[in-house]
Amino acid sequence: MTLSKMLLSAAGLALAAGLAQAESHMSETADKRIALSNNYAGNSWRQAMLQTWQEIGAQAVTDGIVAAADAYTTSENQPTEQAAQIQNLILQGYDAIVLNAASPTALNGAVKEACDAGVIVVSFDGIVTEPCAWRIAVDFAAMGREEVDYLASRLPDGGNLLEIRGLAGVFVDDEISKGIHDGVEVHDQFKIVGSVHGDWAQDVSQKAVAGILPSLPDVVGVVTQGGDGYGAAQAFKAAGRDTPLIVLGNRQDELQWWADQRDATGYETLSLSIAPGVASLALWVAQQILAGEEVPKDLTVPFLKITQDNLDDALATTPEGSVANVTYSLEVAQQVISDAK
Amino acid sequence: MTFLARHRIILPVVSLAVLLAATFYMQPRAMSYFGLNLLFNLAVPIALATIAQMMIIMVNDIDLSLGAFVSLAACVTATFLNDAPMLGLLILLALILSYALLGAVIHALELPAIVVTLGMSFVWGGIALFILPSPGGAAPGWLRTLMTVKPPFAPMAVVAAVIIAAVTHLLIMRSGIGTVLRGVGGNARSVARAGWSVIRLKALAYGLAGLFGVLAGMALVGLATSADANIALRYTLLSIAGVILGGGEFTGGKVSPTGAVIGAFTLTLAASFLSFMRLSPDWQIGAQGAILILVLTARLIFRQKGSEA
């Protein structure tokens, strides 16, 4: 290496360091190690989540923002396993643990151990209630309300709605449904005439909707929870009824169906869900906390909304059988933090 | 009989020591008061559950409901025992008695324990869900203090292990009733001929299992600070593996309480060790199984050598 080249690279480094400094103390976390503690990897959403973490984490390490961003998944989806995993991560000397928890409460003991050992704990998606941890929560009720708001904007005259719910007894299902019913109360031109459980799966939804359809009057809209829109559309088609306005949930098959309908009949709708890339948001939040930034303990994840305008982009980037994803940048994380302040 | 065959406790101790040495080598941070506690505190409820399972295996039965039972005990501890201690205590007592009753019924009707306990696991799981439909509750303050206590010299987990092993060793290996209980597993008929009521002994063994199951649930809540109806489902298999790893056998009343505690700690350590090795989670269960098979193979070889000699 010649002298001039060395000088140049040194100058480049200095410049990069200066930039990093300006971009909210990136260099301060250069020697910090962050671990992801994950309880389950058995569906497309979690797979996409892990992939996003790996990509963003590797990039952050290459850029010298953090020293390590390793992902750990428990071999079984059990709180006792994950509690042990968290304690192992403390022993391994990580500075921050980003956590998708198997239980909102059963990990509190282990999380407390981490906090007491000076480890930053950021929980997301599956959050923990331990006060010393940060929470990046999903406002599922708001998602339900937003669906009805959208329907109201498209169908000002109102009409009958069919609600497809998720897995009975799961907190997420209750929350989204509550939001939908709140929305219907506000927009009282709508009436929910039927409600079935689709378990967030296309085949289950199709069967459930096909079962209830004969007993229903004319339906103008279908409110869903994600993973169920395509099945509902198929059931309507099989019954020979007009396709109502179905709110979708970002799954690839749903987006594909939407694109086909749009090309054929000019079908227009909205698709919204939580992007698995929320893991990258959690990574940046942890980095910001490590950098000494004041971060409120409770943050809210933005939804990933797909509209008529960005449908083609979303469809092009979503692998078959997967779910639309977005990776969050440091800037978005800072925005989320400042919004919560 | 060789030295090893006579002292069945040697192999579990050596397994734990080797694994511990390997863990310390990979993660020197673990070699401290703080590190040992983090490494082992979650093994305490597993050790208690393993002792509970040992009581059942001791009388030639097997308990497939233990994980659900420990979860239920945890749910009761995090709700009733915290809000209304007297009522909570009564419920826990009732749980222990129902376990004793279960033992008596299994013996009286000559039912296979494996089927009855499998069925009961759904009953316990159902009640746990009824008590705590969504995760929550809180650990009673005294229990939390007890489980996070920092005794001098050795961390809580190690002290607890020594106490559990000592108490159960005295009860099962040294006391008169312990010998008779092991006799039920060895040869129930001769125990009956000697004038003992086998049904009462079985009820006692199951009752003791219930007691240690409840203690496991309480210890778990003390560590986790709250409960979940599914919190301890893994304990069923872990406890069986722990008993076997600790030198126990499925038949003949051959059990070792000290070995069971060591077995539980070895299993916990094996999981941490694999995690420190950064082994992919897909392989971890398999690797855990491999460690188990390795230890059992070693035992088989030693025993065969013993009988040849």
Structural domain for B182, as ranges:
3-308
What's the pLDDT band for A52 if we cut at 50, 70, 90? very high
- B121's tokens: 């696991």
Is the pLDDT assigned to residue A313 strictly greater than 70?
yes
Number of domains in chain B: 1
Q: Cβ B38–A87 below 8 Å, yes or no?
A: yes
Q: How confident is the model at residue B284 (pLDDT cuts 50, 70, 90)?
A: confident
Chain B residue with minimum CA distance to A130: B225
Residues of chain B contacting A41 with CB distance shorter than 8 Å: 281
Query: Between A74, A91, A109, which is nearest B29 by CB?
Result: A91
Amino acid at B309: A
In A, minimum Cα distance to B225 occurs at A109
* Number of C-beta neighbours around residue A108 at 10 A: 26
Tokens of B210: 């219930």
Asked if B228's CB is within 8 angstroms of A105's CB, the reply is yes
Q: Which of A19-33, A258-272, B158-172 is predicted least confidently?
A: A19-33
Q: What is the pLDDT of residue B134?
A: 78
In A, which residues are within 8 Å of B269 by CB distance?
Answer: none
The CATH number assigned to the domain holding B264 equals 1.10.3470
Q: What is the mean pLDDT of residues A44-54?
A: 87
> Which tokens go with A324?
């639309």
Give yes or no for a contact between A321 and A107, defined as CB atoms under 8 angstroms apart: no
**pLDDT mean across residues, chain A:** 87
CA-based nearest distance B271→chain A, Å:
9
Among A115, A91, A112, A113, which residue's Cα sits nearest to residue B31? Answer: A91
Domain boundaries, chain A: 28-138+275-305+327-340, 140-273
- Bigger pLDDT: B295 vs B151: B151
CATH number at A140-273 = 3.40.50.2300
| Closest chain A residue to the Cα of B230, Cα to Cα | A78
Q: A 55-74 residues with CB below 8 A of B?
A: 70, 72-74
Tally A–B CB contacts below 8 A. 98
Which of B134, B231, B276 faces A171 most closely, judged by CB atoms? B134
Instruction: Collect all residues of chain A within an 8 Å Cβ-Cβ radius of residue B233.
Output: 78
Q: Do A76 and B285 touch (CB under 8 A)?
A: yes
Confidence of residue A127 (pLDDT cuts 50, 70, 90): confident
Chain B residues at the A interface, defined by Cβ less than 8 Å, are 27, 29-30, 34-35, 38-39, 41-42, 133-137, 220, 222-228, 230-235, 268, 271-272, 275-276, 278, 281-282, 284-285, 288
H or E stretch at A208: helix A202-212
Q: Compare all CA atoms of chain B with the CA of A40 and give the residue at the minimum distance.
A: B281
Closest chain A residue to B235, measured at CA: A80
Shortest alpha-carbon distance between residue B227 and chain A (Å): 5
A85 vs B: CB within 8 A: yes
Confidence class for position B253, pLDDT limits 50, 70, 90: confident
Of A81, A70, A71, give the one whose Cα is nearest residue A103: A81
Query: Hey, which CATH number is domain A28-138+275-305+327-340, 3.90.1150.10, 2.102.10.10, 1.10.10.10, 3.40.50.2300?
Result: 3.40.50.2300
A118: exposed, middle or buried (C-beta count within 10 Å: 0-12, 13-18, 19+)?
A: exposed
User: ipTM of this model?
Assistant: 0.85
Which of A74, A90, A108 lies at the smallest CB-CB distance from B281?
A: A74
Distance CA B164, CA B54 (A): 13
Residue A11 has pLDDT above 50, yes or no: no
H/E segment holding residue B53: helix B43-58
Which residue does chain A place closest to B45, by CA atoms?
A80
The alpha-carbon gap from B280 to the nearest alpha carbon of chain A, in Å, equals 8
CA distances from B167 to A122, B60, B149, B161, B178 (A): 41, 22, 20, 10, 12
**Which candidate in B149, B226, B267 is best for mutational testing of the A interface (most A CBs within 10 A)?**
B226
Q: How many CA atoms lie within 13 A of B178 on its CB side?
A: 14
B-chain CB neighbours of A97 within 8 Å are none
- B90 — pLDDT class (breaks 50, 70, 90): very high
Please report the pLDDT score of residue A17 as a whole number.
45
d(CA B282, nearest CA chain A) in Å: 6
Mean pLDDT of all residues in B62-85: 95
Residue A223 has pLDDT above 80, yes or no: yes
* Residue predicted with more confidence, B74 or B277: B74
Nearest C-alpha in B relative to A88: B272
**Cβ contact (<8 Å) for A105 and B29?**
no
